[in-house]
Structure 1
Amino acid sequence: MRDVAKLANVSIATVSFVINDTKPVAPATRARVEEAMRQLDYRRNALGRALASKRTRIIALLYPALQRRLTETAVKFFTSAAQTAKDLGYNLVLWPISNEAGQVEELISSGFIDGVLLMEVQLDDPRVEPLQRSTMPFALIGRTRHPEGLPYVDVDFESSMIEAVSYLDGLGHRRICFVDSDSAEHGLSGYGPLVRTRSTFVEEMERRELLTAHISCANSPISGQAAAEKLLATAPDTTAVILMNDNASFGFTNGLNKAGLCVPADMSVLLIGSSPAIAAATEPRLTVMTLPSTALGRMGVETLIDQLEERGEPMRQALISCSFEEGQSTGPARVLEPGASRGFSRNCESHSYALSL
């Protein structure tokens, strides 16, 4: 540190202020100190910095890995959140613990972290209360049943589902099925995105006086194929499906193909809450409403760090809609002549659907 101070022509105390962020330093002076550190290959001592500032500059992202498998969209979120934290002078660590209040309390009392980001939020999430009782800054990626007074950013699943139904309705589809994940698959009672999307689907379909069907299945290709078979057996007049189950989408489209249906001539398929990469893994490429994973990661970290830096910003409560990308799996509803029985196109090409995980 003495060598850095000499090269930058400042006091040792000034170097300490720059390294530990304990006092403001003029931009020009800070630049000289950082350039001297670079020339001398001086590395910040994270432990020393934490002791000096009483801050670790580490934030924890709590992800219930035991209950929720990692997905491509989750990885995008982590990457964006970690980069934003780094840009703002913090380190982000992924903390894979269950959604239990006791484990959160242990983390809070450990002294390892400065703040917490919660993912996979339940409507009545047990992790929120211990955080509210503590002095630990936190933010939610998701919403509880009553999010008033809580800092959060979340996907606007309600408006995204309304847009999906509106799009299919505009194509003439009068009977639409919603295929989502089995609640047991999440291991999370009252999982916010699932509950909100299901509820909005029912409400919007009733408002438009459309016929509904609903199937839940495990998050796997085999379960998706079984869901397609169940749909054709129980609601054969369905002409469009909204899928909210990434891994089941591969098997679902395979199941339609095995039954002799053409997508989209016989059945339109729209994937919601996913990614273009998942949508492109089948043939034809699925129409998709993409999760705003990158924006969520960035905004979630910014929401937390605003508290840590005491910037005085208004508490952020933000909703972000999915972005719509039309693929080749949706088209006009097939119109049956009065009195005709349901039949399917048999002249479409045989497609193979590859699982890309």
Structure 2
Amino acid sequence: MVTLADVARHAGVSSSTVSYVLSGKRSISTPTRQRIEKAITDLGYHPNAGARALAGKRSHIIALVVPLHTEVYVPTMMEIAISVTVTARQYGYDVLLITNDEGPEGVRRVAASGLADGVILMDVRLDDDRLPALRAQGTPAALIGIPDDPSGLACVDHDFAAAGALCVDHLADLGHRDLAFVGYPPRVYQRHAGYAERTLNGFRRRAEQRGLRVLHRPCEGTYESTAGTLARILADRPGTTGFVVQNEGAVGPLLSLLRTTGRTVPEDASVVAICPDQLAEQYAPRLTAVTGPRKELGQVAVEQVLARIDAAAAGGAAPDDALLLLAPDLVVRESTAPAPRRVTTTEEPST
């Protein structure tokens, strides 16, 4: 492989002079520049991505860091990734997929290599350890998700707290007083996934405001784990009539298990899922669901990172911090109905 040092020797100049010609950062005499350009042509030298970045030329590539967790609902992740790719192409950019199991080192590697002009991070945790690397590298970036400290960053996400509150309001308005939240596996909350924690917090806050009793039970999403989760809910709170599910794998098993316990949906128990509409439509009864515009997440993220790439190329200040929350929608279908008449309890509301 021909190196920059080979070009310098062939042209009879220093390596730094070759770098200045490639970067354009210093004025080089016309004869010297022509000699270097001829050496580059003669040797077939191709500057690597890092050199092109130094030259101020864009790679026209955006790195998209995607999650590979087993609990991630792949269709949703793919829809967002496709939206990023399609939108990027509209602006003349290609997308490089990076898996998030590389962590901060992967972010540093991409930034240092010059392979990508900017980075979009998915699956953002509240205390995400990739963010210090992004800030230190000064890499133009956009986040699909919101960390605890979003300063200096461009973030877009669904308003998951509002999604949790919508579920509570819908069931409360139907007269349900005892609610159960069937969530993701424990490890999702342990790694502080923003979408999971924000939904649960919004659910709990609104339930407290409405004076409802609630339980939260994490669930692995298999039939066996959902059976155990439902058994614990009914043992702890047998009067539960409203169920909110934020776990795509647990939706089908929960509907089946409610039937096996003699609870008809929606006459005896109402179910609200936080999931895509196409998933909600697959079940019988069709699920009342809270969802959000996934394609728009990708579109906004691309526009945000491109604005920062343009500002960096122009040598100007980065755009102001951006934190955009996309409002969720509640679509009422056949899985929710007025709460059945039950003997009231004197227990105090709890969260």
Q: Shared topology, TM-score over 0.5? A: yes
Give the letter aligned to residue 96 of structure 2. Answer: V
Q: State the distance in 1 between where 2:264 and 2:120 align.
A: 44
Would you say the 8 A contact 2:165–2:205 is kept in 1? no
Q: Deviations over 1:263-298 (max 9, x none)?
A: 0001000001x1111112211010011132111011
Q: Distance in 2 between matches of 1:76 and 1:262?
A: 33
Q: SS of the residue aligned with 1:147?
A: coil
TM-score of the pair, normalised by structure 2: 0.77
Most deviating of 73-82 and 239-248: 73-82
**Corresponding residue for residue 214 of structure 1:** 216
Q: 1:315 Cα deviation (Å)?
A: 3.8
Matched with 1:292 is 293
Whichever residue aligns with residue 113 of structure 1, its letter is A
Amino acid in structure 2 at the alignment position of 1:317: L
Return the match for 1:165 from 168, 189, 192: 168
1:282 aligns with 2:283: yes
Q: Please say if residues 202 and 212 of structure 1, whose CA atoms lie closer than 8 Å, have aligned partners that are also in contact.
A: yes
Structure 1 residue 59 displacement after superposition = 0.5
Deviation of 1:322 after TM superposition, in Å, equals 1.5
CA apart distance, 1:55: 1.5
User: Which residue in 2 is equivalent to 1:121?
Assistant: 124
1:316 equivalent in structure 2: 322
Cα displacement (A) at 1:336? 2.2
C-alpha distance in 1 between matches for 2:247 and 2:75: 13
TM alignment of 1:1-357, pairs within 5 A: 54-66=57-69, 69-98=72-101, 100-184=103-187, 186=188, 189-272=191-274, 274-310=275-311, 314-336=320-342
> Within 2, Cα distance between the matches of 1:114 and 1:175?
51
- Tell me: CA distance 1:57–1:208, structure 2 relative to 1, closer, same or farther (3 Å): same
2:17 corresponds to which residue?
none
- Match of 1:60, SS state, is strand
| CA–CA distance in structure 2, aligned partners of residues 110 and 242 of structure 1 | 45
- In 2, Cα distance between equivalents of 1:194 and 1:158: 9
Q: Which moved more, 1:175-184 or 1:62-71?
A: 62-71
Give the secondary structure class of the aligned counterpart of 2:179: strand
**What SS does the aligned partner of 2:325 have?**
strand
Quote the Cα distance in structure 2 between the aligned partners of 1:89 and 1:161.
38
CA distance in structure 1 between the aligned counterparts of 2:118 and 2:221, rounded to whole angstroms: 32
Structure showing the higher helix proportion among its residues: 2
Which one has a bigger Cα radius of gyration? Answer: 2
Q: In the aligned structure 1, how far is the partner of 2:106 from the partner of 2:91?
A: 27
Q: Read off the aligned partner of 2:63 and give its amino acid letter.
A: A
Shift in Å, 1:158:
1.1
**SS at structure 1 position matched to 2:128:** coil
Letter in 1 for 2:128: D
Task: Give the residue type in structure 1 aligned to 2:107.
Answer: V
Q: Is the 8 A contact 1:61 1:93 kept in 2?
A: yes
Paired position in structure 2 for 1:6: none
Q: Residue type of the partner of 1:81?
A: V
Looking at structure 2, the residues matched to 164 and 269 of structure 1 have their Cα atoms a distance apart, in angstroms, of: 10
Q: Secondary structure at the match of 1:251?
A: helix
After alignment, is 88-97 or 224-233 more displaced? 224-233
Deviation at 1:148, TM superposition (A): 2.7
Does the aligned pair in 1 maintain the 2:53–2:114 contact within 8 Å? no
Q: Aligned to 1:309, what secondary structure does the other structure show?
A: helix
Letter in 2 for 1:258: T
Q: Determine the C-alpha separation between the residues in 1 that align with 2:70 and 2:231.
A: 27
CA gap of 1:79–1:198, structure 2 versus 1, over 3 A, is: same
Q: Which residue of 1 aligns with 2:27?
A: none
Query: Once the 2 structures are TM-superposed, how far is the Cα of residue 97 of structure 1 from its aligned partner?
Result: 3.0
Count residues in correspondence.
292
CA distance in 1, matches of 2:191, 2:281: 31
- Asked if 2 retains the 8 angstrom alpha-carbon contact of 1:67 and 1:188, the reply is no
Provide the C-alpha distance between the structure 2 equivalents of 1:181 and 1:268, rounded to a whole number of angstroms: 19
Question: Matched residues in 2 for 1:334 and 1:90: separation?
Answer: 55
User: 1:124, CA displacement in angstroms?
Assistant: 0.7
Q: Distance in 1 between matches of 2:273 and 2:73?
A: 18
Distance 2:300 2:117 in 1: 17
Output the amino acid matched with 1:137.
Answer: P
Q: CA RMSD in A?
A: 2.5
User: Once the 2 structures are TM-superposed, how far is the Cα of residue 75 of structure 1 from its aligned partner?
Assistant: 1.4
Letter in 1 for 2:331: E
CA distance 1:238–1:99, change in 2 (3 Å): farther
Once the two structures are TM-superposed, the CA of residue 50 in structure 1 deviates from its matched residue by: 8.3
Distance apart, 1:226 and its partner CA: 3.0
Residues of 1 paired with 2:119 and 2:80: CA distance? 15
Query: Aligned equivalents of 1:296 and 1:246: distance in 2?
Result: 20
* Map of 1:347 onto structure 2: none
